[in-house]
Amino acid sequence: MIIAERKPFKEIAAAVAPYDKILIVGCGTCVAVCLAGGEKEVGLLASQLKLAAGLKHRRIEVGEITVERQCDLEFLEPLCDFVADFDAIISMACGAGVQFLAHMCHFKPIFPAVDTTFIGVNNAVGYYTERCRACRRCYLGLTGGICPVTMCPKGLLNGPCGGTLNGKCEVDLQKDCAWSKIYQRLELEGRLDNLKEIVPLHPHSRGTTPGTVIHPAYRRRYGVDE
């Protein structure tokens, strides 16, 4: 899932300082799980904004709403009428959600309340680690389910660099060398032969942004080429 971190309150408050009617839109999926932008965090931010405005003898109106997913047109469309009553929007979704909401709601200034961090996993409540760089070419089948692109800081695809020492990474000695882990894993599975396969250069050209994926069924039905 997408991991995000709440922005410092000062930054959010400064961004919306000129507005009196603010709508905070939360997202009930990834950012809710990583405790950054779900329904509860929307309530907390709304309280913070109102209390901070009260201290400056200002009275502001703060609307709160949380949709299931801000990156999904189906959930976002019903919001459009709701937004009309407000001067500005704060989105607590990841960058994708903020942009989609901005696209849907014309003429309304929109501000992000979280910093989108990475695609990762939820190890425990409050402890998230990165696992995927969304690099558009997956090697996990070859590497025993350990991603060399993400877990190796150098993103090496054909074995470790010269800096690996006792299974640790030279970039950060606290961390395991991704390729040591891959070797151990493949050894356990009896698939060390995988390492003899030379992986060609990573297709970085595919990583040109922004990416688009069109499902074959969608293409068949609507005849979209690009």
Partner 1 sequence: MDFIPKILAYVCTYCTYTAADMAGSARMQYPDSVRIVKYLCTGRIDLLHILKAFEAGADGLLVGG
Q: Which residues contact 120 (CB under 8 A, 6 or more apart)?
A: 1, 3, 128, 129, 130, 131, 132
Of the pair 4, 60, the CB lying nearest partner 1 is at: 60
Of the pair 53, 71, the CB lying nearest partner 1 is at: 53
Tell me how many residues contact partner 1 (CB under 8 A).
8
Minimum separation from the CB atom of position 34 to partner 1 (A): 17
185 binds partner 1 (CB under 8 A): no
Between residue 38 and residue 67, which ones bind partner 1 under the rule CB under 8 A?
A: 40, 43-44, 47-48, 50-51, 54
Of the pair 55, 201, the CB lying nearest partner 1 is at: 55
Minimum separation from the CB atom of position 40 to partner 1 (A): 6
Minimum separation from the CB atom of position 50 to partner 1 (A): 5
For residue 210, is the peptide bond before it cis, meaning its omega torsion is within 30 degrees of 0? yes
Minimum separation from the CB atom of position 8 to partner 1 (A): 17
Of the pair 48, 180, the CB lying nearest partner 1 is at: 48
Of the pair 48, 194, the CB lying nearest partner 1 is at: 48
Per-residue mark of binding to partner 1, 187-226 (x: CB under 8 A): ----------------------------------------
Binding segment (CB under 8 A) for partner 1, from list 6-14, 36-44, 105-113, 176-184? 36-44
Of the pair 51, 201, the CB lying nearest partner 1 is at: 51
SS (H, E, C) the chain: CEEEEECCHHHHHHHCCCCCEEEEEEECCHHHHCCCCCHHHHHHHHHHHHHHHHHCCCCCEEEEEEECCCCCHHHHCCHHHHHCCCCEEEECCCHHHHHHHHHHCCCCCEEECEEEEEEEEEEECCEEEEEECCCCCCCCCCCCCCCHHHHCCCCCCCCCCCCCECCECCCCCCCECHHHHHHHHHHHHCCHHHHHCCCCCCCHHHHCCCCCCCCHHHHHHHCCCC
Neighbouring CB atoms inside 10 A of 197's CB total 8
**Which stretches of the chain bind partner 1, using CB under 8 A?**
40, 43-44, 47-48, 50-51, 54
